[in-house]
Amino acid sequence: MKARIHVSLKPGVLDPQGKAILGALESMGVDGVSDARQGKLIELDLADTDPDAARARVDDMCRRLLANTVIETYDIDLSE
Amino acid sequence: MKARIHVSLKPGVLDPQGKAILGALESMGVDGVSDARQGKLIELDLADTDPDAARARVDDMCRRLLANTVIETYDIDLSE
């Protein structure tokens, strides 16, 4: 089973990488982009076969290691 | 319209961040994780209202700026 974890900065937290992307797009002449945010994508290969158990385990990993829940939010996508 | 872009390293490309995550999980006593890869998550707020046009524009941004297609792959999710 594979887990795809999206870790994003909470709204209001300064995001210099996102600002750099927005500035670069503008300097390239790309318009119509009003905001850009950069987060992390973490992909795990899991031995679990039960989706509920896998989700609980990945949630635990996120809280303990993968995300800083003071400034970041995360969501988990599971697939076979 | 919002675009969520996942940028991942191609298989075979060395991923020190992923290896660090795997090592940290093992040292925390988490088992059953056979591989970890870290990529980038980029979220854009777009003025476009047509999904096809938005996808073509974001694809162009990925190729020109957001992904290094020599070593990275990307996929695009659009939502309202």
Best mutation site among A45, A50, A59, A75 for testing chain B: the one with the most B CBs within 10 Å? A45
Kindly report the nearest CA distance between residue B76 and chain A, in angstroms. 13
Kindly report the nearest CA distance between residue B71 and chain A, in angstroms. 16
pLDDT of residue A33: 97
Round to whole Å and give the CA distance between A64 and B51.
Answer: 38
pLDDT of residue B56: 97
Confidence of residue A13 (pLDDT cuts 50, 70, 90): very high
- B46 and A32 within 8 Å at the Cβ level: the answer is yes
Helix (H) or strand (E) holding A8: strand A2-9
Domain architecture of chain A: domains with CATH: 2-79 (3.30.1280.10)
Instruction: For the beta carbon of residue B19, count every other beta carbon within 10 angstroms.
Output: 14
Confidence of residue A80 (pLDDT cuts 50, 70, 90): confident
Tell me the pLDDT tens digit for each residue of A22-42.
Answer: 999 999 999 999 999 999 999
Quote the ipTM score.
0.91
pLDDT of residue B67: 98
- B39 and A43 within 8 Å at the Cβ level: the answer is yes
Tell me the pLDDT tens digit for each residue of B14-67.
Answer: 999 999 999 999 999 999 999 999 999 999 999 999 999 999 999 999 999 999
pLDDT of residue A53: 95
Kindly report the nearest CA distance between residue B70 and chain A, in angstroms. 19
Closest CA to B34 of A39, A54, A15, A62: A54
Helix (H) or strand (E) holding B9: strand B2-9
Share of chain A above pLDDT 70, in %: 100
For B20, phi then psi, to 5°, come to -65, -40
